[in-house]
Amino acid sequence: MPEYYEFIIKGCLDPGWSGWFAGLHLTHQGRDLTLLSGTLPDQAALHGLLERIRDLNLTLISVTCGGSNIRNFDKER
Amino acid sequence: MNNTDQIIRTKLHQPFIRAGLVSRPRLQERIVQGLRGPLTLITAPAGFGKTTLITSSLASSRMTAAWLSLDPSDNQAKRFLIYLTAALQGVDHQIGFESAQILAGMQQTPVEEVLISLINDLDAAGIEIVLVLDDYQVISNSEVHEVLAFLIEHCPQNFHILLSTRSDPPLPLTLLRARGQMIELRAADLRFNVIEVDQFLNQVMHLNLDPDSVAVLAERTDGWIAGLQMAALSIRNRADISGFIEGFSGTNRYILDYLSEEVLSCQSEEIRHFLLHTSILERLCGSLCDAVIGGASNSQNTLEQLDKANLFLIPLDEEYHWYRYHHLFADLLRTRLHQSLNAQDIYRLHQRAAEWYEGNGLIYEAIHHASLAINNEYVERLIEQNYMKLTSRGESPAFLFWMGKLSKEAIYKRPWLCIYAAMSSAWLGQLEEAEVLLAEAEKNIQVEDPDPNTRRMLATQTYVKSRVTAMRGDLHKAIELNLYAREVAPTNPLPLRLMIGVGLGYEYFLVGDLDNACKLLIETIQLGRTSGDINNTVATSCVLARLYTVQGLLNKAYATYQDAERLIQEGGGQQLGAVSIVNVGMADLLYQWNHLDDAFTSINQGLEFIRLWGKADDTILAYLVQSRILQAQGNKTAALEAINKASQVIRFSGVFPEARDALMAIEARLQLSLGNNLAIDRLIGSLEARSCKENFFTFENELAHLTLARAYIASSQLEKALRLLSGMEESARSGGRRGRLIEINILKALALQAAKEPMQAEAALLESLALAQSEGFVRLFLDEGQPMRVLLAKKAAHDCTTPLGDYAVHLLSQFNAEFPARQPADEKGSLTGELVESLSRRELEVLHLMALGRTNLEIAGQLIISPGTVKAHTANIYRKLDVTNRTEAVAHARHLGILP
């Protein structure tokens, strides 16, 4: 079942990484956090994504699974 | 060496340590400590220097190490075990020798058996061995995790596993920690501290940085080695070092983003292009890179350049032929690749890689890249074209794995895939599955005006269908099908023609058409000899030998087995499965000649590796031969055990009528010997019901009829017996089945004797003796017991001068040697309360377990040794105690005070 997820990562990732992270939307939060957001088709995709985060030695701060509302982070920039 | 071997070598190659690295004695010491126990775990993300640390620790520990670098295609128990065994064999050839054979031979992998064999070998190796499993995080398959858990659980004292991974593996880590069986190093342990950072930057990379700069870099990278390496590479190429450090520390950009850009921007356009395009490859060599990049590129040169420049290229073998990128670097490159090329272009790169791999005979890698090129047609074609070749090497499970990735619809659409899947199912005796697949395949084959490929398809499909039809019992239809297959099949490939040849020959045999069978089998063997296909040729020889046995030509049968044996030896003697069925066949003949000891040795040799052959039919026949030998040796319990094993096999697998009838006949004889009248009546009922068809006296029904005749005799229905036997006699005679004719006349003689017709009985006896003499049949007579002995004695009494009389006397002497064969244990003169040769400690352990009623398999499991080893021990125990079975062994041991 597709779900909407938000991952918060330490550090500022270039938007070019979006393709690497299953096409999730990439925005910077504050000075040194990156937010990956979007829908993933299932649990397998979720775990695959977590592996990619791990493989780049990124520090994962949080994962949340939300409803289908899409928050607009552009406003916060 | 062939290409597959090359790839295997890269996986088993311990990575090369570059000179001049930061030495980390503290951590090395912890690892060496950890290597005293079963498991050492190093868990940290990529780029923490795990591999470097491991290789330097191994160098200082002086333990012998086996290395296995894992990748995602190892997510399959069989493939994992193959590589594991290969890695251990590299340490000591004795380790895993049996396991490798088991893995090579079987369609299905008996995982626990392979592991137990490996563990035994490790235990016996006598040296400290470390197994390094690098990149364990790629493993997600639960079966493989279970393999590892089993290894750790049953780890011999001298064996140590070192697991290097990016995530904690799903093993019982808490338990292992609590028991003190595991040492672990984690990211926090592996980070460089400031001193080590300084060492790296200044002494290894010669950057001449001041302490403040070093501190900044240590802080910014957080001791992450990959980050430091990148930073060092960036600094090396710059004039303005302080500017760089300021910029670097001032940014919050993901450091690899920042640094890789720096590093890449300093490279030439050509190198950048090279790096990006070859990043799709797990392993690189010059020629492969050339293929992927296209055009005229001197990739080998480029690789050497990159290696020298320390640009994250890791050599995988000693010849510097194969390399791989450091994982992180590869990830970075791939991301950039996806940013600069569109999807189609990237697929094209994978396509080129797939084609190179295919051209170089590395099929799994080809399939991998073909699927990444999203080229399903190509994937399917690769599977189709290589199935037969890889199946004959016992690698069909891997193919089934690849086919499992395709949807059922995809398989059904492509007739070859259906046919191959059906073939596998048929070989495993899964008839329903095979039938469904065959039906699907048939839908898609164009029968009118077929081209060579279609003819091959049609021939193969029909061959499989014939096999399934024969196992279902309709032999005439099966023959029709195989005749058609034979007609349609093209001249090449040879293996197909051989399979059809032996299949059709066997079906002729089963139906009693011995002439056609013989002709075809001999022809097929000739063909097989030229082809180098040892397995199919030996299979054919064994069928031919059994045919000769039915014709009563025991010597010819034996010569056939010997020829087959020679063929195997000439081919290098590797095919242990083929050797097994030859041994089983020979055991049967030795049994017929009453050379029981030789037969016993032969059947044990045959049974040892029969599972490598994997066919249910041959396994059943093997157990039945074993049971007859054991019975003749007086070991009733073990004989029954063997019969039970045979009936276990038949429960789970479809088989041909030969094995089914043979089992039925032996089980029936057992019933008859127990003298249970109710059971005998029931037996008669079912056999009579079965033969209620036309074409009554056929070879197909012969075993059943023989059994029925015995049942009639046992229940004193002698008229019926004789009527049946005379009908059978005519059929056997005209069919040239001399072997059966002997048996028929033996039964006739016994029935006539019981019917109080001594003259006729003697006539029948003479007939059987005449037929049997030149070939040395003994057991056919001996197995009839007392009544036959009486008959022979009568004959010998009034005639011991003619050749037949001679023969009767010879048979009588064999009877005397057997009955009474055994004196009660406590009358043996050699017993003085001591053994000539005392039991070893292991043998005592086995004996204790035997006394507790454990089976061989249970004993093997409990003592963690192979079933073969248990058998060897029991043979020794019997020998030393001068007994022939368990019950006697236990009793005798108790009598001697060895057991309480």
- ipTM value for the complex: 0.79
Contacts of B253 in chain A (CB under 8 A): 11-14
Predicted confidence band at B828 (pLDDT cuts at 50, 70, 90)?
very low
Q: Which residue in B167, B252, B338 is closest to A54 by CB distance?
A: B167
In this predicted model, what pLDDT tens digit does every residue of B358-400 receive, in sequence order? Answer: 998 888 889 889 988 888 788 878 887 887 766 655 555 556 6
Lowest mean pLDDT among A36-40, B146-150, B362-366: B362-366
Highest mean pLDDT among A72-76, B308-312, B343-347, B533-537: B343-347
Burial of B122 (0-12, 13-18, 19+ CB in 10 A): buried
Q: What is the token pair recorded at B373?
A: 């090129």
Q: Does A58 touch chain B (CB under 8 A)?
A: yes
Contact A12 B331 (CB under 8 A): no
pLDDT, mean of residues B213-234: 88
What does the pLDDT read at residue B108? 66
Predicted confidence band at B829 (pLDDT cuts at 50, 70, 90)?
very low
Considering chain B, what is the average pLDDT of its residues? 86
Q: Which residue in A16, A51, A58 is closest to B339 by CB distance?
A: A16
Q: Which residue has the tokens 């089914």?
A: B660
What does the pLDDT read at residue B402? 67
Contacts of A16 in chain B (CB under 8 A): 335-336, 339
Predicted confidence band at B822 (pLDDT cuts at 50, 70, 90)?
very low
CA dihedral B606, B612, B617, B623 (to 10 degrees): 40
Q: Does A4 touch chain B (CB under 8 A)?
A: no
pLDDT for B239 beyond 90: no
Q: Does B570 touch chain A (CB under 8 A)?
A: no
pTM: predicted TM-score of the whole model, two decimal places: 0.63
How far CA B109 is from CA of B77, B100, B102, B103, B602, in Å, comes to 8, 11, 8, 7, 25
Q: Which residue in B137, B253, B256 is closest to A56 by CB distance?
A: B256
Q: Which residue in B45, B251, B257 is closest to A57 by CB distance?
A: B45
In this predicted model, what pLDDT tens digit does every residue of B672-711 receive, in sequence order? Answer: 887 777 888 888 888 887 765 656 888 988 998 999 999 9
In this predicted model, what pLDDT tens digit does every residue of B609-631 receive, in sequence order? Answer: 787 777 889 999 999 999 999 99
Lowest mean pLDDT among B415-429, B476-490, B808-822: B808-822
DSSP letters for B440-476: HHHHT---SS--HHHHHHHHHHHHHHHHHHHHHT-HH
Q: Does B226 touch chain A (CB under 8 A)?
A: yes
Highest mean pLDDT among A17-31, B135-149, B167-181, B396-410: B135-149
pLDDT for B6 beyond 70: no
Cα–Cα dist B304/B301, whole Å: 5
Q: Which residue in B166, B254, B338 is closest to A12 by CB distance?
A: B254
In this predicted model, what pLDDT tens digit does every residue of B281-329 receive, in sequence order? Answer: 988 999 999 999 987 778 988 998 888 777 788 887 777 788 888 888 8
Q: Under 8 Å CB-to-CB from B313, ≥6 apart: which residues? A: B284, B303, B306, B307, B323, B324, B325, B326
Contact A57 B335 (CB under 8 A): no
pLDDT, mean of residues B523-527: 94
In this predicted model, what pLDDT tens digit does every residue of B7-26 receive, in sequence order? Answer: 677 788 887 766 567 888 88
Interface test with A, best of B228, B249, B252, B258 (most A CBs within 10 A): B252
pLDDT for B401 beyond 70: no
What does the pLDDT read at residue B454? 85
B711-718, long-range: CB within 8 Å, 24+ apart, which pairs? B711/B668, B711/B672, B711/B680, B711/B683, B711/B684, B711/B687, B712/B684, B712/B751, B713/B747, B713/B750, B713/B751, B713/B754, B714/B672, B714/B675, B714/B680, B715/B677, B715/B680, B715/B681, B715/B684, B716/B754, B717/B684, B718/B751, B718/B754, B718/B755
Contact A11 B252 (CB under 8 A): yes
Measured in angstroms, the CA of A69 and the nearest CA of chain B are apart by 29
In this predicted model, what pLDDT tens digit does every residue of B751-792 receive, in sequence order? Answer: 999 999 999 999 999 999 999 999 999 999 999 988 999 898
Closest chain A residue to B47, measured at CA = A57
In this predicted model, what pLDDT tens digit does every residue of B457-507 receive, in sequence order? Answer: 899 999 999 999 999 989 999 999 999 999 999 887 788 899 999 999 999
Give the up-direction half-sphere exposure of residue B785: CA atoms within 13 A in the CB hemisphere: 5
What does the pLDDT read at residue B104? 66
Closest chain A residue to B135, measured at CA = A55
Predicted confidence band at B823 (pLDDT cuts at 50, 70, 90)?
very low
In this predicted model, what pLDDT tens digit does every residue of B20-78 receive, in sequence order? Answer: 678 888 898 899 888 888 999 999 988 898 988 998 888 888 789 999 999 887 888 88
Task: Tally A–B CB contacts below 8 A.
Answer: 55
Predicted confidence band at B5 (pLDDT cuts at 50, 70, 90)?
low
In this predicted model, what pLDDT tens digit does every residue of B578-596 receive, in sequence order? Answer: 899 999 999 999 999 999 9
Contact A19 B46 (CB under 8 A): no
Q: Does A54 touch chain B (CB under 8 A)?
A: yes
pLDDT, mean of residues B555-559: 97
* Of residues B553 and B893, more confidently modeled: B553
Interface of B with A in 229-258 (CB under 8 A): 251-257
* Of residues B136 and B429, more confidently modeled: B136
Q: Does A76 touch chain B (CB under 8 A)?
A: no
Contacts of B331 in chain A (CB under 8 A): 20, 55-56
Peptide bond before residue B493 is cis, with ω within 30 degrees of 0? yes
Measured in angstroms, the CA of B301 and the nearest CA of chain A are apart by 29
Going along B20-167, which residue ranges are E strands?
39-43, 64-69, 129-134, 159-165
What does the pLDDT read at residue A71? 53
Q: Does B465 touch chain A (CB under 8 A)?
A: no
- Percent of chain B with pLDDT strictly greater than 90: 41
Contact B335 A20 (CB under 8 A): yes
Measured in angstroms, the CA of B48 and the nearest CA of chain A are apart by 9
Contact B253 A54 (CB under 8 A): no
pLDDT for A74 beyond 60: no
Q: Does A32 touch chain B (CB under 8 A)?
A: yes
Contact A14 B253 (CB under 8 A): yes
Contacts of B46 in chain A (CB under 8 A): 55-57
Burial of B384 (0-12, 13-18, 19+ CB in 10 A): middle
Contact A20 B334 (CB under 8 A): yes
Closest to B401 in 3D by CA, of B367, B428, B435: B367
Contact B253 A55 (CB under 8 A): no
